[in-house]
């Protein structure tokens, strides 16, 4: 197999199973996106970018839609939250660390854990303020 863990790959969404979604990888290999790791709507035949999460001993391939590795996820998620804040007129999102996982998934298409890590990094770097009603961009550029 010519794939490496963390490698960005082209995906075509296949069938939906009880475990997740089968995908065609780079037009050659079959892989699996686990349903508890998919935070966006996907449909059969849709083309996506993904990342090799695991190359298993049974020759199966686990895929993720998020970059692999803690630092990649944080950087990507922080950037995404910042972009969403900048898209709003007031630089505000009605989400914080007390928001439900479903609300976060609906608004940002990420897990609550990823969201909390992202806003934690943004807060530490003084890019956002966290309030009871949501998060605010400190300076809208």
CA 64/CA 73 separation, integer angstroms: 11
pLDDT band at 140 (very low <50, low <70, confident <90, very high): low
Summarize the confidence of residues 124-130 as an average pLDDT: 90
What is the reported pLDDT for 71?
A: 47
CA angle 45, 2, 74 (to 5 degrees): 70
Domains defined along the chain, listed by start: 8-64 (2.40.50.140), 70-137 (1.10.10.10)
Terminal C-alpha separation, the chain: 46
What backbone torsions phi and psi does residue 55 show, to the nearest 5 degrees? Answer: -110, 105
Summarize the confidence of residues 77-101 as an average pLDDT: 91
Q: What pLDDT digit, counting tens, does each position of 22-81 carry?
A: 999 999 999 999 988 887 889 999 999 999 999 998 889 999 988 776 445 557 888 889
CA 33/CA 117 separation, integer angstroms: 22
Residue 112 DSSP one-character state: H
Q: Is the pLDDT of residue 1 over 80?
A: no
CA 12/CA 131 separation, integer angstroms: 40
């Amino acid at each position: 197999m010519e794939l490496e863990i963390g490698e960005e790959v082209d995906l075509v969404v296949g069938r939906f199973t009880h475990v997740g979604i089968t995908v065609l990888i780079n037009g050659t290999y079959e892989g699996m996106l686990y349903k508890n790791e998919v935070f966006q709507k996907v449909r059969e035949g849709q083309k996506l970018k993904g990342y090799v999460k695991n190359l298993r001993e049974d020759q199966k391939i686990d895929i993720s839609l998020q970059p692999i590795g803690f630092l990649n996820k944080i950087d990507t998620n922080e950037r995404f939250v910042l972009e969403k804040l900048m898209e709003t007129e007031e630089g505000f999102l009605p989400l914080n660390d007390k928001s439900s996982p479903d609300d976060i998934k609906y608004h940002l298409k990420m897990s609550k854990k990823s969201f909390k890590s992202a806003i934690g990094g943004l807060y530490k770097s003084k890019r956002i303020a966290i309030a009871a009603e949501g998060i605010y961009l400190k300076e809208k550029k």
